Amino acid sequence: MKIAEVAEQLNLKVCSGENGLSNDVLGGYASDLLSDVMGNAQAGAIWVTLQTHKNIMAVASLKDLAAVVLVKGAEPDADTAAHSNDEGIPILTTELDAFTIVGQLYNLLK
């Protein structure tokens, strides 16, 4: 499934990185510890977090993730969004909390 379809089906707002909306989603990961994400997320995953710091894009790029989903209405910091555009890794946001959006993502991707 493409990021664009995930965004449409789960009503996620695209904040940045539109040029990566055709990325394929191969799985998912949820964590707010970037050291943990660096160690354990798989390439192609859609990553759910509440962190908005620019380091999330460095980690997403390093791990070749498909997209980042921010929860509870969080928006990326300006430098984070710029990095997302450069890398072609979209940042999406939802008003839902992590538990709820992860449940929806799981059902959609399983």
Partner 1 sequence: MHIHTVLSPCGDLEMSPSNIVAKAKEVGLSIIGIADHNSTKHCALVRKIADKEGIFVLMGVEVTTKEEAHCLTFFPDEASLNSFQRFIDDRLPSIPLDVDLFGYQVVVNEDDEIVEEVPYLLISGLNASIEEIEKMVHALGGLFIPAHINKNKFSVISQLGFIPFDLVYDALEISPHTTPAKFCSLIPGLKAQTFIQCSDSHIPDTIGSAYTIFNIAQPTFDEVKLALHRTDGRYVAIP
Contacts with partner 1, residue ranges (CB under 8 A): 32-35, 37-38, 51, 53-55, 58-59, 77
Cα 102 from chain centroid? 11
Amino acid identity at 13: K
Helix (H) or strand (E) holding 29: strand 27-30
Q: Is 88 exposed, middle or buried (0-12, 13-18, 19+ CB in 10 A)?
A: middle
Task: Give the residue with the Cβ less far from partner 1, 6 or 59.
Answer: 59
Residue 36 Cβ vs partner 1, minimum distance, rounded to whole Å? 8
Residue 10 Cβ vs partner 1, minimum distance, rounded to whole Å? 26
Residue 80 Cβ vs partner 1, minimum distance, rounded to whole Å? 10
Task: Give the residue with the Cβ less far from partner 1, 8 or 32.
Answer: 32
Task: Give the residue with the Cβ less far from partner 1, 64 or 77.
Answer: 77
Query: In this structure, are residues 80 and 56 in contact, taking their beta carbons and an 8 Å threshold?
Result: yes
